[in-house]
Amino acid sequence: MGWLPPVVLGVLAFSATLGLGYWVKSIDGRLPVDIVSMWAGELQQQRQQLVATRELVENNTGALARRLAQLHAHVMRLDAAGARLTEIAGLNKGEFDFSQPPPVGGPEVDTPASQPVAADEILSSLASFEKQLADRERQMRVLEDLLLASRLQKEVRPSGWPVENGWISSLFGTRMDPFTGLRAFHAGVDFAARQGANVQSVAAGIVSDVGERFGYGLLVEINHGNGYVTRYGHNNTALVAVGDRVRKSQAVALVGDSGRSTGPHVHFEVLLNGRTVNPHQYIQAAR
C-alpha cells in the first residue's frame, strides 16, 4: 500500500468509528436484544458441548483403565502359569524369572520422525494385544495340564525302593521256603532293614487296606490308579489309615517282623490289574 494523505486517514478513521458505534449501540444506548440472545444461545451450546466432551473423555478414560486392568490380570495369570510350568518342567528358577522383564538388547537404528499415534489406533492395538494374551493364556493352560498329567503319571507309577536304607534279601519268583525248605513261589521282593525304619510308598495313591493278613503280618496296601496296587508286609506299626491320600516317598509304616517272617524286613509286592508282577522293573526304574 502507498502513502495516504492525512485527510484521507482522518475520514477513514471517522467512518470506522461511526460504523462501530452504530453496530454496538441502540437508540437507548444498550446492546440489541437479538444480539444478546444470539450470544447467550451460542454460549449455552458451547457449555453443552464442553459437558459432552468432558463426559466422553471420562468415559473413554474409564474404559481404557478397565481395559488396562484386564490386561494386567491376563499378565498376572500368565506369570503364574509360567512359574508353574517352570516348576513342573524341573527348570532352574533362575532360567525363567517371570518377575523380571526378559533380557533384550541390540544397536539402535535411527528412524525418521513419525506422526503421533491416534487414539483409535491405540484402542485397536490394545484390543489386539488383549486377544493375543487370552490366546497365549489358553495355550499355557493346555501345556500346563499336559505337563502336570505327565508328572502325575510318573508319580502314580511305582518306582524305587520301599526303604531308604537296606538290602534285597529275597527276589520275586520260585525259591526255597525259609520255614519248610520246600520250593515255593514268592510273590514279591523282600527288603531287609532295621527294626522301626520308615516304610515308604513308592508312588502316590490312596490307602486301600491296613491290617493283619495271613502270611503278611501287618499289611499296608495302596491303590495308585491305572491298575497299580502295592503291598508292604510284616510291618511293626502302620502310619496311615484306609482312605488316606499318600505322596510318593511318604512313610506309611515302620519296619517290623510281624506275620510269617524270620526278621525285620519289608515284603514288597506290585499288582497290575489284579495280578502280581515282578517288582524288579519298578525297583530299578528310579535307580
Distance in angstroms (rounded) separating the CA atoms of residues 261 and 178: 9
Question: Residue 19 has what pLDDT?
Answer: 45
Question: Residue 282 has what pLDDT?
Answer: 87
Same domain, yes or no: 20 and 129: yes
Same domain, yes or no: 150 and 196: no
**CB-count burial class (<10 Å; 0-12, 13-18, 19+) for 197:** buried
- Dihedral angle over CA of 183, 187, 190, 195, nearest 10: -110
φ, ψ for residue 261 (rounded to 5)? -145, 150
* Whether the predicted pLDDT of 177 surpasses 70: yes
* 14-53 pLDDT per residue, tens: 444 444 444 444 445 555 666 767 777 777 777 777 777 7
Same domain, yes or no: 66 and 129: yes
Decide if 111 is inside a domain: no
**CB-count burial class (<10 Å; 0-12, 13-18, 19+) for 274:** exposed
* 104-142 pLDDT per residue, tens: 555 655 555 555 556 666 667 677 777 766 766 666 666
Distance in angstroms (rounded) separating the CA atoms of residues 105 and 126: 24
Decide if 113 is inside a domain: no
Task: Work out how many domains the chain is built from and give that number.
Answer: 2
Distance in angstroms (rounded) separating the CA atoms of residues 242 and 1: 111
Decide if 112 is inside a domain: no
The region that residue 41 occupies, defined by phi over 0 for left and psi between -120 and 50 for alpha, beta otherwise, is alpha
Distance in angstroms (rounded) separating the CA atoms of residues 271 and 233: 14
Same domain, yes or no: 69 and 48: yes
Q: Which of 159, 137, 138, 140 is nearest to 148 (CA)?
A: 140
Question: Residue 17 has what pLDDT?
Answer: 45
143 band by pLDDT with thresholds 50, 70 and 90: low
- The predicted model gives 71-75 an average pLDDT of 70
87 band by pLDDT with thresholds 50, 70 and 90: low
Question: Residue 4 has what pLDDT?
Answer: 44
Same domain, yes or no: 72 and 29: yes
And the C-alpha cell for 152?
A: 502325575
Same domain, yes or no: 14 and 127: yes
Same domain, yes or no: 126 and 187: no
**CATH of residue 244:** 2.70.70.10
User: What's the sign of the alpha-carbon dihedral 85, 91, 96, 99?
Assistant: positive
Decide if 64 is inside a domain: yes
Decide if 224 is inside a domain: yes
Q: Which amino acid is at 165?
A: N
Q: Which of 279, 285, 232, 235 is nearest to 258 (CA)?
A: 235
Same domain, yes or no: 124 and 226: no
Same domain, yes or no: 39 and 151: yes
* Whether the predicted pLDDT of 88 surpasses 70: no
Same domain, yes or no: 88 and 205: no
Query: Per DSSP, what are the bridge partners of residue 106?
Result: none
Q: Which of 263, 236, 264 is nearest to 251 (CA)?
A: 236
More confident of the two residues 58 and 255? 255
Same domain, yes or no: 123 and 23: yes
Decide if 89 is inside a domain: yes
* 200-259 pLDDT per residue, tens: 999 989 999 999 999 899 999 999 888 899 999 999 999 999 999 999 999 999 999 999
Query: Per DSSP, what are the bridge partners of residue 78?
Result: none
Same domain, yes or no: 8 and 85: yes
Domain that holds residue 147: 1-103+118-156
Distance in angstroms (rounded) separating the CA atoms of residues 152 and 1: 95
Decide if 178 is inside a domain: yes
Question: Residue 149 has what pLDDT?
Answer: 57
- How high does pLDDT run on average in the chain? 75
Question: Residue 21 has what pLDDT?
Answer: 47
Decide if 201 is inside a domain: yes
